[in-house]
Structure 1
């Protein structure tokens, strides 16, 4: 039976992760992956179990609590927040596996670290009792600390071809050291490899099932929403926290200028340009936060029709654009101190710009989907 532990993301536990993550941020960047003690606290705080079904000892939790917790971590370290957010989000996707597959993942407890490779980069062929899967999946965040992986491959059965997800244990996949990106350095988003691994049918589910929404036997609201309605929030929540962290740090860097008198009155160094930077960047960050809160409220209601699913995607991509713009403005006005390699400002800037460039947060595609769905509703 699953072990019994607290199932909620307590404020104290999240704060402990944030404090340690801030201390380890520079070390983690150099290593290009999070430190083991930070990962341990993330799991202990309950992020991996947050969306695990209650049947397996999980919290079957809400999206708003996750948004708030992940954003708090992002104020200290974007990479830690990213790992925590994906640890929760991929666990939610794994709840769509058949009952036997869920048992394989969580029969010893709900804190299993499951990473996701959501692009159909592999190939699967039908064999007796299951599938033979092979391929390479780049950009799998946190893979070094994973116990299972949920990978997407193009499954071939005769003339039929469909994307399917396959759950594979750590002993079945390799890791290639390929993550050398400018931003989100500590996410350890390396390449996962599979070489003709046999995956039983019980550990496989069609992508179409995740896109449709309700998991088999779904009881909690979090297990009844379509993948595309929720995944954007998982990606954007860390960036919201990072933008808030950048605002706080920028205000400290420019405190002397902000506190000075206005040039029009005294002829002293002008503070007005810095006030404008702060007001606009803070306003854009607040606006992004409000958009994401609305996304979370739709998801916590337990369902999202095609129109709301499309709107959620638009809102998350728009929020990412707002956050990237806000942090870029802060960076450009932070002076040489903010651009120093040892300063937090440039790390927040690299992380938000990098994270907002994720394929799942590109505005053109989700904008088109939203407009098409809205037009279809008006016609009907």
Structure 2
């Protein structure tokens, strides 16, 4: 296991730089590269320690995802799902033991919405329907689809865990950003799922470990948000390197010789670093609280959600600013910035990172209930 091997991580990034266009063209990160991410420990860092997991503090995991995303946002997005095993902490321990029976490196993918019909059976549910946005499903060991809740779930939808071989994957992902995430549709036809293989997203965990006391939905929101920080970092690194590049075809000064370019890139640099600092400050504070034996407060959770939404929005604005300052070179398809622009657009559009998070966080900080569901 190379979880703490910087050389192995750097070697992975070097291979990713060579293959990212391949992933974008085929529209998913293939199994052989996901296996490489497994060997780096990214898919066991949220597995319960009782089942062989090697807990990684959230900020440490998020920084790894950020570095991957600076090379390729799509791969960072798929790797970020290593955090999502915390969702499964509410499964019965017997079910978790079966899930991790082959080892702690389990790749989870989800397509919870739209909620589709499920007919109760003696053992569980007969599932039918089509779900969207199953990022990473092509290399997943287990996937989740959304089915209706009932009295036992207080009306919240259930996630039903199914081996991907029992589903049809429809490769319909045709988008301008995060093209390599493989966020395909899933189709189930009369697939029976035992009740003990269903869970409530954000439900009370039965695993008593610090990471499983970290707010699960919040951690997933952070994991998706930090992808945008990596993408923005790539855009700024390119802009700062390209500033002293070729002369303008019109004879105008090089970009670095233009005051508006220097000032604009510096302003973008400050904006990204400020949002990033708030993001990691909130993550570190929450983790320290848990390690000390206390629970993350509602106010701390509000800062986690607010900093995640703010980072995603700021990162997108940074990339847009870089493009707007870069002249006509950036309008060509073979230029690096258009792909980064598309990638930066996607995280802020996720429901977990939408503008509604500002209102919800503000409400909590003022002593009111959150204004959106699934805030914690």
TM class by shorter chain equals 0.7 to 0.9
Corresponding residue for residue 136 of structure 1: 130
Give structure 1 regions of 4+ aligned residues with deviation exceeding 6 angstroms: 157-160
Q: Is 1:51 paired with 2:56? A: no
- 2:149 pairs, out of 144, 155, 177, with 155
Q: Is 1:334 paired with 2:326? A: yes
- Distance in 2 (CA, whole Å) between partners of 1:47 and 1:156 is 34
Query: Does structure 1 retain, via aligned residues, the 8 Å contact 2:90–2:207?
Result: no
Query: Does structure 2 retain, via aligned residues, the 8 Å contact 1:124–1:155?
Result: no
Corresponding residue for residue 105 of structure 1: 99
- Name the TM-score, length of structure 2 as normaliser: 0.88
Give CA-to-partner distance per residue, 1:63-119, whole Å, 9 cap, x none: 011111011111111111111011x12222123311122122210111121112243
Corresponding residue for residue 253 of structure 1: 242
Corresponding residue for residue 276 of structure 1: 263
- 1:225 pairs, out of 214, 229, 241, with 214
State the SS of the aligned residue for 1:255. coil
- The alignment of Structure 1 onto Structure 2 pairs a total of residues equal to 359
Query: Does structure 2 retain, via aligned residues, the 8 Å contact 1:70–1:85?
Result: yes
Change (3 A) 1:196 1:24: same
Query: Does structure 2 retain, via aligned residues, the 8 Å contact 1:257–1:269?
Result: no
Corresponding residue for residue 76 of structure 1: 71
State the SS of the aligned residue for 2:157. strand
Give CA-to-partner distance per residue, 1:116-170, whole Å, 9 cap, x none: 2243522333321222222222111111111211223213469974311221112
Corresponding residue for residue 235 of structure 1: 224
Change (3 A) 1:326 1:56: same
Change (3 A) 1:174 1:98: same
- Name the TM-score, length of structure 1 as normaliser: 0.87
Change (3 A) 1:22 1:372: same
Q: Quick check: which one's strand share is greater?
A: 1
Q: Is 1:33 paired with 2:28? A: yes
Query: Does structure 2 retain, via aligned residues, the 8 Å contact 1:124–1:134?
Result: yes
Task: Please list every run of 5 or more consecutive structure 1 residues that lacks an aligned counterpart in the other structure.
Answer: none
Corresponding residue for residue 281 of structure 2: 294
Change (3 A) 1:154 1:171: same
Give the superposed CA RMSD: 2.5
Change (3 A) 1:170 1:377: closer
- Distance in 1 (CA, whole Å) between partners of 2:48 and 2:282 is 21
Task: Please list every run of 5 or more consecutive structure 2 residues that lacks an aligned counterpart in the other structure.
Answer: 370-376
